[in-house]
Amino acid sequence: MLKWTHYFSGITMLRRSAVGIALLVMVVALQPLSAAYCDTLQPQENPDGWNLVFQDNFPGQRLNTENWVTCYWWDWEGCTNEGSGEDQWYLPDNVSVRGGALRLEAREETVEEATNGETYAYTSGMVTTGRSESDTNAPGKFIFQYGYVEVRADPPSGQGLWSAIWLLPEDHTSKPEIDMVEILGNQPETLEMHVQFLDENGERSSDGWEWYDPELAEGAHTFAVDWQPDLIIWYLDGTEVWRYTPESPWTTPMYLLINLAVGGDWGGPPDSSTVFPSEFVVDYVRIWQRKADPSESCS
């Protein structure tokens, strides 16, 4: 199994209070933007200048398998991300559609992974628009280059639960990576946003920001990221919360992942207070692309 992680320990992350973040947003707002930066905020339904290229409102009672697979591309009748120290085994049975929403369910149940007999104490669910096989010549479900990704979702609270919405390269490498949403269940009021990349020396590097909002722990919220050639902007409920400018354009096509991890090196394992089963509920996923090349026009 390929082992890698989308959160590397020992890397200094930028973490600031809400006051510091507010000051950053004010400073960024005062800085001039180049013509390549489309700064017109998010689409609303089908606005002029945008094409809706992917959408799933999760109707009916079954996952649309034309849009999603239920594991990483190393799908061996289940999967996990051992590089992050996670404790769950992802299974298709933990992914369901009910009540107009996608539901990724973490359960406390012991399973034995068929390939090497390793035992996991938890199961959970994940979906991606990538592939369920290692052949990069095989078509993915939905792979795209640049776009505005919007997901309305309700991450669960609870020690050891780790909700994530992120983008990875379609060539099955692990960099660059855009972490649109990471929320630890023991800090449900804090939105973590990260980028992972290789620096000019080919070394793994990372940058990130966190946004504190007490209302984040209550109910569903709309998360979005606008991935442009030279700029990435994160939004929470229509408000810009962070922007990142890569040193060089990130041109690699990517796919979308949504998962509910259990345990992990970052948030730690569940404890007696953690409620199982717990669900990461996703109301919808929408992806738009600008009708014009964002490096040329923002109209």
Q: Select from 72, 83, 202 the least CA-distant residue to 128.
A: 72
Q: What residue has token string 């082992």?
A: 3
CA atoms within 13 A on the CB side of 194: 25
pTM: 0.86
Residues 1 and 273: their CA atoms lie apart, in Å, by: 32
**Which domains, ranges and CATH numbers included, belong to the chain?**
47-290 (2.60.120.200)
- Beta-bridge mates of residue 195: 178, 207
45 torsion bin: left (phi>0), alpha (psi -120 to 50), beta (else):
left
Coil, helix or strand at residue 110: strand
Average pLDDT score over the chain: 85
Q: In angstroms, what CA-CA distances link 64 with 19, 78, 97, 100?
A: 42, 18, 9, 12
pLDDT below 70 — which residues of the chain?
1-42, 44-46, 114, 293-299
pLDDT per residue over 143-199, tens digit each?
999 999 999 999 999 999 999 999 999 999 999 999 999 999 999 999 999 999 888
Distance separating alpha carbons of residues 96 and 105, to the nearest angstrom = 8
Residue 182 annotated as catalytic: yes
Q: How far is CA 122 from CA 102, 242, 263, in A?
A: 20, 33, 9
With the CA atoms of 173, 175, 180 and 186 taken in that order, what torsion angle do they form, in degrees rounded to the nearest 10?
A: 90
Run of H or E including 25 = helix 18-30
Choice among 177, 192, 210, 279 that is catalytic: 177
Compute the chain's Rg from CA coordinates: 18
CA nearest to 188, candidates 160, 207, 166: 160
133 catalytic per annotation: no
Angstrom distances, CA of residue 120 to CA of 86, 171, 240: 10, 29, 39
Catalytic residue among 86, 150, 170, 182: 182
